[in-house]
Amino acid sequence: MTRYQVLTTLLHLLTFYIGAGIGSFLNVVIYRLPLGISVNNPKRSYCPSCKYQIPMWQNIPLLSWLLLRGKCANCGGKISMRYFWVELLTGVLFYMVFLKVIGEYADPWPLLKVWGPHVLCLWVFVSLLVAGTFIDIDHFILPHSITIGGAVAGVLASWWVPALVEQETHTYGLIISLASAALGLGGLWLVVELGKLAFGRKKFVFEKEVEWQVTQPDENEPPVVTFGEHRYDWADLFMRASDRMVVTCNSLQVNDRTFGAVTAELWMEKLKVRDGASLEEFSLEGVTTLRAKITQVVIPREAMGFGDVLFLMMIGAFTGWQAVMFTILAASVLGTVFAVIHRVTGRAEWGAKIPFGPYLAMGAVLWIFYGPLVVDWYISKTMWR
């Protein structure tokens, strides 16, 4: 093996292990960011059970988890296998990005200045996708530091490497990135709003009356709504001023007032009580007691959260407008396929717990490696001849 071949082999191995190392850091981000813990303090990773700060020689990506058999060396507490999979996934994605980009060049070494920035920008992009995916799975949120911060990074990256959005000049790379981010933001927002109008309600009907109430156990936290066996945080029900909950009551108590059979409409900032043709309105700021005996309730619901919209904005900033359209379609198809698989295997409830963000991330990854080929194939099959 020549010296050149040895160096090239080492470059391939180094690329994968750089990805695994970044995956180790992403595990820190995934764990700490939703909890409001700094990713820099403490600087070293620590055991979730005993808080033991893991020394460098026990924190080698992939190898440490295998050698320690998924346990903390200090307390023996279990370390989730998810940490290993995130490191492996990130390593594989980094290596696949490397192969894709340098595959366009016959000899990668003389053109390091050309493909190096392209690879680096895509590494940043897939890192954001991985972090966002697992945070969304664990907490059903997509933090602004990933979505909005990632969109800013995507715009700067597309200006630096216009090829990300299939452009040749820095100016056009910047313009297309901004336009694609706007398309991702506006396009999915429109889908969310139309979906809200068409499917944005869920009805519960009870054979026997059940207790319905709005309480605020902690004055520093938003209220919660409970009825029967159901419990909803305020933010899960009321995301916009037009959202409302409609409750059919046998009896209703508002502070020291008691109503008979009425219909109550709970909005983000007000309560409307309808008794036949009469209507009475209360500001929620002055309501301290709100409970009822109900037979039916209709709650607002979201097909997806606004974090998904911002996530697609970030995807558009990095990859361009065609990728936005492809990602929406691919994510919808993947979501449908997984839903069918979960239903067939009897795990429909488990499948319903997966948010839409991971499907968007998978769609974006598919675009990076296969999207243009799929689009070209589709056009060749559908064009008139």
Same domain, 48 and 178: no
- H-helix or E-strand containing 176? helix 170-199
Same domain, 222 and 296: yes
Instruction: Let me know the angle formed at the C-alpha of 359 by 378 and 237, rounded to the nearest 5 degrees.
Output: 130
Write down which residue in 248, 276, 300 finishes a domain: 300
Query: Per mean pLDDT, which range of 33-42, 124-133, 219-228, 272-281 is the poorest?
Result: 33-42
One-character DSSP codes across 74-108: TT--B--THHHHHHHHHHHHHHHHHHHHHTTSS-T
- 125 belongs to a structural domain: no
Return the structure tokens found at 332: 């919808």
- Structural domain span for residue 185: 144-193+307-385
Same domain, 69 and 152: no
- H-helix or E-strand containing 63? helix 63-67
- The pLDDT score that the predictor gives to residue 108 is 55
Same domain, 183 and 323: yes
Same domain, 187 and 292: no
Same domain, 255 and 320: no
- 132 belongs to a structural domain: no
Nearest Cα to 23, choosing from 73, 69, 63? 63
Same domain, 252 and 377: no
| Tens of pLDDT, residues 338-367 | 878 877 776 655 555 568 889 999 999 999
Same domain, 255 and 318: no
pTM value surpassing 0.85: no
One-character DSSP codes across 197-209: HHH-EEEEEEEEE
- 93 belongs to a structural domain: yes
Same domain, 296 and 322: no
Q: Are 319 and 367 in contact (CB under 8 A)?
A: yes
Positive or negative: CA dihedral 115, 117, 120, 124: negative
- 138 belongs to a structural domain: no
For the chain, where are the E strands, in sequence order?
A: 201-215, 224-227, 230-233, 244-254, 257-259, 262-267, 270-275, 278-283, 290-300
**Whole-number average pLDDT of the chain:** 84
- 311 belongs to a structural domain: yes
Same domain, 383 and 348: yes
- 238 belongs to a structural domain: yes
Residue type, 220: N
| Tens of pLDDT, residues 190-213 | 776 665 555 557 788 998 999 999
What is the domain count for the chain?
Answer: 3
Most confident of 37-41, 81-85, 381-385: 81-85
Burial class (CB in 10 A: 0-12, 13-18, 19+), 18: middle
